[in-house]
Structure 1
Amino acid sequence: MTASPTPTASWTAPQRWTVAATVLGSSMAFIDGSIVNVALNAIQQSFAAGVAGSQWVVNAYTLMLAALILTGGALGDVYGRRLVFGVGVGIFALASVACGLAPSLQILTGARVLQGIGGALLIPGSLAMIGAVFDDAGRGRAVGLWSAATSATNLLGPVLGGVLVQQLSWRWAFFINVPLALGVLWCLRGVPETRSSGANRPDLLGSVLATLGLGLLTYALIQAGESRAAGLLASPAVLGSAGALLLAGFFAWERFSPAPMLPLALFRRRAFSGTNLLTLLLYAALGALTFFLPLNLIGVQGYTPAEAGAALVPLALLLTLLSRVAGSLAGRLGARLPLTAGPLICAVAFALFARPGLGGSYWTTYFPAILVLGLGLSVTVAPLVSAVLGSVADGWHGTASGVNNAVSRTGGLLAVAALGLIMLGSFRGELETRLQSRALPPALVGTMMAQADRLAQVQPPATLPAAQTRALRQDVQQAFIGGFRRVSWWCAALSVLAGVVGFFSFSGSGKQQEEQA
């Protein structure tokens, strides 16, 4: 069922309810992502968790989104977009309650898996429902309102998360989703059901293979960092190999499936494969940086959660203000310039994150890096979206957008695990060197090194004199900064590679001329 054409200035009641439901639903999902990163330090303290536990709080959600978001869109096309969207909102809300009440890190991680399933059902439905109930004349205005609302969410999410964590508890970072979900379900009463008569049934086998493959590969990377001290390298190697084989099976199935969730034929187009490789590299860097930055600001630099959330506002503000301008320029100049320059500007920003040491004013340490990163992303994001859509025929726009969304989630998922391994190795090595240089008793060194997987939350024994405790705490903080610098340089390298991909994926001048072969 599709609404009949209406003047752009006057929306029908179903159209108004659709915009309200999709804006609230998308805001709920986007707020959750930004709030959880700010809450990670408090979650880690609450459960005395190591870095692996913190990684799974993020990755359990991201894994399900990366593996199932295409399936979620297909389910909406077949069984009804409003129905699947509503089911996703309900699962997301119930999982949020479970996250907020979780008595252990294991239960929190399991609830985050359910949240990811809910997100994979609701996120693809937002723009699909808008596209189904608006005609061409009204669709642009509706999408513009949706985009403005989600941009405002990106601005307010980290600040709201910081305030909730600081004034109440990290658990409210999840409870906040419940009133939003109730508002979405109320609005859905006025949304017409729509579906696609020619849609293919969801590729369930492909979903299972992708989920298991990515899950095992991610687990192997995280487990390698946890197991290094015990010498259990074989287990991560076996798990990683199994994950790689399952992913190979996934691509083989997609190659021969009559209705694949990931049409591999699209990747024969240079522009489509290039934009997705660029997305994988850039969002890998961004995902790793935004995972470790709040841990640095709160756990090492002494920011409050609210201050850490507010520190990221300039980035979101620049994205909101400049993305439209960058998109317009890319339309005139072509995709190559912004998709080369944007990632390279981001690489400069990631390098700037490696500059600050311990202490110092926000305005002279992290603000310049955040400002440059906001500029780089502003130059990149809108042209990247346009390039993805422009690299395929009109009938494939929804699939192309979904694939690119899944690729961006996959990049963040793998980078948090892989660069977490680098962070942990660097932290352990530098902390041990610093402790041994103080000629401490071996038992004291062993006590502190046994906590090394907690990163900045490693605590000296409570019986030590205050002056020695402060000195050892500073060793822990400096070791974290050393690891953070290494991660930042890796992020810069990934971003440089993304810029190189952008340069070679498009023609040199004029409007983008993606290859359609």
Structure 2
Amino acid sequence: MQVSERMPRDQRLVLIIAILASFVSFLDGTVVNVALPAISEELGGGLVTQQWVVDAYLITLGALILVAGSLSDVFGRLLILRVGLIGFGLTSIAIAVAPDPLFLIIARAAQGIAGALLVPSSLALIMSNFRGAAQGRAIGIWTAATTGAMVVGPVLGGVFVDLLSWRLVFLINVVPIAVTLWLMAVLGHRDHRLAGARVDWIGAVLCTVGLGGIVYALIEQGNFGWSSPAIWGTMTIGVVAFAGFLVRQHLARDPMMPLGLFRVRNFWTGNITTAFVYAALSLNGLVVVVYLQQGAGLPATLAGLASLPVTLLMIALSSRAGDLAGRWGPRVFMTVGPLIMAVGAALLLTVSTDFDYWLQVLPSMIVFGFGLAITVSPLTAAILGAIEPARSGIASAVNNAVARVAGLIAVAALGVIVGGELDLAGFHRAIVVTAVLLAIGGVVSLVGIRNPVPERVE
């Protein structure tokens, strides 16, 4: 990470705190995917356990990440960030000692609650402390630095799984959590609270029940069948509860997801793009690292290293892409980036039973990584830049919720997509779905995103 020498001390500290706090959440996501085969081998449950380990976290994260915006307004961003960091550390320890799948899944759900407090508060700190071109550059630095978790997570996770235990990979984040808490004490900023703000707990319950019912039906349909009341019943409850959540947001005095935000063109269009792109990212990230271990026979370390080119390109180019998007506008980056990613994903269709990483996987990683690098920073800047700074916390929370829920649904639908087993044919089906989702994301940006009018210099 390179922070400009001209950046004031407090801004440097804010940026580092935001990076480290988000790093914890991103690190966990990359570590989990690499560890999934080892987890299911020791604790049992196969693909269903693997899906629940990912989605238990995403259910509470996706539902409560919206509450985090309101909590930040009521109690202050720094306080909520501290609570999230401490909670994340404690639940990481619980996951590391899990004796069975049920305990692990419950601990992952609790970890999602803590994780919901981290990323929105981190981005809100950046949005409230940086303005103009500096804001775009700060978001670019944040994106590049936090994607370092994409390097550290898979590689360290793979090494730990192969040489030590999958349990220890969940303790990797203890150090960044401790450093972040110390830096927050050094910063010494006072929290700002919004007078009269409230937390929409009814909305939180409806959202959690809605997502939980839908995800349960998608994951467990392979065991019970769609005709089972346990499946169509929970799906119905989930859909009705989520519809009730949307109605609640329209009627509530202090909604956790103000629907008025979606009247802003770049905000609603950017969030649609986010949904398609992050659904594809979650699906791709899971099936590639799991198939490389279970299908291609690679050890966890090599499976973790397989996507290293993607991360290196993110680190090298994200800051520059954020800077250029601040000058030229985000539309071209948000259009071209996902389309390039779609091509990169499609290259994985060359993977065959005669596996060759260098010819079948590496070209995909390079193309995919380039597209991702020019997409993420402009996408984030376009969405948050469309909303006034005073509402940046809730705007960030909504955008992150959209991303997490999209990933949640994609992972929950994995069994349907691959036909119940992640063999070569199932892998190819998942790759086709990934490419289609990315292509749709690019087209949505082309049609919907508008570049902001440059400010006139007096």
Q: Is TM-score (shorter-chain normalized) higher than 0.5?
A: yes
Match of 2:418 in 1: 423
Compared CA separation, residues 492 and 133, structure 1 to 2 (3 A): closer
Match of 2:438 in 1: 495
1:121 corresponds to 2:117:
yes
The offset of 1:366, in angstroms, is: 0.8
CA distance in 2, matches of 1:337, 1:134: 24
TM-score in terms of structure 2 length:
0.90
Aligned-pair Cα RMSD in Å: 2.7
1:107 corresponds to 2:103:
yes
Question: Is the Cα contact below 8 Å between 1:162 and 1:306 reproduced in 2?
Answer: yes
Compared CA separation, residues 333 and 134, structure 1 to 2 (3 A): closer
Amino acid corresponding to residue 347 of structure 2 in structure 1: L
1:34 corresponds to 2:30:
yes
Amino acid corresponding to residue 36 of structure 1 in structure 2: V
CA distance in 2, matches of 1:103, 1:286: 30
Structure 1 residues 8-27: Cα deviation after superposition (integer angstroms, max 9, x where no partner): 55526xx7765554443322
Aligned positions of 1:207-356 closer than 5 A: 207-228=204-225, 232-331=227-326, 333-356=328-351
CA distance in 1, matches of 2:364, 2:133: 40
Amino acid corresponding to residue 292 of structure 1 in structure 2: V
The offset of 1:131, in angstroms, is: 5.8
Amino acid corresponding to residue 446 of structure 2 in structure 1: F
The offset of 1:354, in angstroms, is: 2.0
Aligned positions of 1:450-469 closer than 5 A: none
CA distance in 1, matches of 2:424, 2:280: 17
CA distance in 2, matches of 1:123, 1:379: 20
The offset of 1:112, in angstroms, is: 0.4
Aligned positions of 1:58-137 closer than 5 A: 58-129=54-125
Match of 2:156 in 1: 160
Structure 1 residues 467-512: Cα deviation after superposition (integer angstroms, max 9, x where no partner): xxxxxxxxxxxxx0100101111111212221221121035xxx44
Compared CA separation, residues 86 and 483, structure 1 to 2 (3 A): same
The offset of 1:124, in angstroms, is: 2.4
The offset of 1:303, in angstroms, is: 1.3
Equivalent residue in structure 2 for 1:404, among 384, 399, 403: 399
CA distance in 2, matches of 1:383, 1:187: 28
1:48 corresponds to 2:44:
yes
Structure 1 residues 58-109: Cα deviation after superposition (integer angstroms, max 9, x where no partner): 1111111111112113212321333222221121111111100000011000
CA distance in 1, matches of 2:448, 2:8: 42
Compared CA separation, residues 31 and 184, structure 1 to 2 (3 A): same
CA distance in 1, matches of 2:173, 2:207: 28
Question: Is the Cα contact below 8 Å between 1:77 and 1:199 reproduced in 2?
Answer: no
CA distance in 1, matches of 2:164, 2:453: 52
Compared CA separation, residues 385 and 146, structure 1 to 2 (3 A): closer
Moved more, 175-184 or 238-247: 175-184
Structure 1 residues 315-338: Cα deviation after superposition (integer angstroms, max 9, x where no partner): 111122222333344445544333
Question: Is the Cα contact below 8 Å between 1:81 and 1:193 reproduced in 2?
Answer: no
Which 5+ residue runs of structure 2 have no aligned equivalent? Answer: none
Equivalent residue in structure 2 for 1:357, among 333, 352, 355: 352
CA distance in 1, matches of 2:360, 2:446: 31
1:200 corresponds to 2:197:
yes
- SS for the counterpart of 1:171 is helix
Compared CA separation, residues 17 and 271, structure 1 to 2 (3 A): closer
- SS for the counterpart of 2:220 is helix
The offset of 1:113, in angstroms, is: 0.7
Amino acid corresponding to residue 333 of structure 2 in structure 1: P
Which 5+ residue runs of structure 1 have no aligned equivalent? Answer: 1-6, 428-454, 456-479
CA distance in 1, matches of 2:312, 2:43: 34
Q: How many residues align?
A: 449
Compared CA separation, residues 327 and 223, structure 1 to 2 (3 A): same
CA distance in 2, matches of 1:189, 1:248: 42
Match of 1:3 in 2: none
CA distance in 1, matches of 2:58, 2:303: 22
Compared CA separation, residues 258 and 389, structure 1 to 2 (3 A): same
- SS for the counterpart of 1:365 is helix
CA distance in 1, matches of 2:48, 2:241: 23
Amino acid corresponding to residue 316 of structure 2 in structure 1: L
The offset of 1:244, in angstroms, is: 0.5
**More RCO (CA 8 Å, sep 6+):** 2
Match of 1:450 in 2: none
- SS for the counterpart of 2:374 is helix
- SS for the counterpart of 2:419 is helix
Question: Is the Cα contact below 8 Å between 1:285 and 1:491 reproduced in 2?
Answer: yes
Identity %: 41
Match of 1:466 in 2: none
Equivalent residue in structure 2 for 1:180, among 176, 181, 184: 176
CA distance in 1, matches of 2:377, 2:236: 37
The offset of 1:201, in angstroms, is: 1.5
Moved more, 242-251 or 375-384: 375-384
